[in-house]
Amino acid sequence: MKDSKNTAPNAAVAFVKSFVAPEEADIDRTTLKGSVQDLMIGIQRVDIFGMGAQLAYFFLLSFFPLIIFLVTLLPYLNLRQEQVFEFMANIMPLEVYVLIEGTLQEVLTHQNRGLLSIGIIGTIWSASRGINALMKALNHAYEVEGKMGVIHRAWSLIFTVAFVIIILIALVFPVFGHQIGNLLFSYLGVGHSFESVWDIIRWITPPTMIFGIMIIMYWVVPNTTPRLKFISVIPGACFSTVGWLVLTSGFSIYINNFGNFSATYGSIGGVIILMLWLYATGMLLIFGGLINATMQRRQLALIQREK
C-alpha cells in the first residue's frame, strides 16, 4: 500500500520531467508529445531567455535613434505633430510613451539634418546587431551554422531597413492611405463606400506587413540543406505576428490599468517597462522560429518512418 502511494507521485514527476527536461534520444518526433519535448529541448538549446535579453539590449540601443530619425523625417512629409503623438500612444504602453514624449516634442519642433543623419546611423548600427543576434538564434533552432561574411551582414542590414520602412509606412499610412483610397474609389465610381472599407484596411495593413517581414526572415535566414519551403515557415510567422499584437495590447492594458510602475520605481519605471516589452518581443520572435524548426523536424521524422 505504501509503495503504491509513492509510485503515483513519482510517476507524475517523471511525466512532467519528460516534457521539461526530456532526453533527446528518447523523443519520438512523430507524436504530439514528442514534438512538445523537441520544442522544450530547442528552447534550452537556443537559450531563449538569454538571447531574448540580448535582443532587448540592442533593440533598446536602437529605439531612441529610431524615434529621432522618424520624427526628424516626418516634418519633411508635412505631417502634423498630433498625428505622430497619436501613433506613438497607440502602439506602446502609456508609461513608455510618457518617457519619450519630451524627446518627441523637442525634435519635432526643429528640422535638424544633423539629427537625421545621426539617427539613421545609430538605428542601422544598433538594430542590425539585434537582427544579427536573432539570425544566430534562428540558425541554432535548426541546429545549423549561419552564413558568415558579407552575405550575412547584407541580410541583417536588409531586414533592419525593412523594419524601419514598416514603421514609417505604418506611421504615414493613415494620412496618405486615406487620400490615395479616396482618389482610387472615386475613379472607380464607388467613392461613397470608401469610408466603410477604409477602417478595415487601416487596421489590417500594418499586421500584414509585419507578417510579410516575419515570413521572409524565417524562410531566408536558416542556413538549412535543403532550403526550407516557403509554406513551412507560415506557422511561426503567424504565431509571431498574432503573438506580438496580443502581447502589445495585453501589456498596455495591464500597465495602464493594474501595474503602476511609476509609483514603485519613480521616473525609471518607463525604462523598466520599455525593457520588459522589448525582452518579451525578442523571445516571441525567437519562439516563432523554434515552432518552425520543431515542425520541420517532425515532418522529416514522418518521412523517415515511412521509408
- pLDDT of 4-57, one tens digit each? 555 656 666 666 666 555 666 678 778 888 888 888 888 988 899 999 998 888
- The Cβ of residue 39 has, within 10 Å, a number of other Cβ atoms equal to 20
- pLDDT for 65: 72
- pLDDT of 76-126, one tens digit each? 666 666 766 776 666 666 667 777 776 666 665 655 555 556 656 766 776
Can you list the alpha helix ranges (DSSP code H) found in 221-268?
A: 234-257, 261-265
pLDDT band at 3 (very low <50, low <70, confident <90, very high): low
Answer yes or no: is pLDDT of 157 > 70: yes
Q: What is the grid cell recorded at 269?
A: 519605471
Identify the DSSP state of 28.
-
CA angle 258, 263, 268 (to 5 degrees): 110
In 3-state terms the chain splits into helix, strand, coil percentages (rounded to 5) of: 85, 0, 15
Q: pTM for this one?
A: 0.76
- pLDDT of 220-260, one tens digit each? 888 888 788 889 999 999 999 999 888 877 777 776 666 56
Can you list the alpha helix ranges (DSSP code H) found in 113-193?
A: 113-141, 150-172, 178-187
Q: What is the grid cell recorded at 200?
A: 478595415
Buried b (16+ CB within 10 A) or exposed e, 120-158: bebbbebbbbbbbbbbbbbbbbbeeebeeeeebeebbbe
- pLDDT of 298-307, one tens digit each? 888 888 887 6
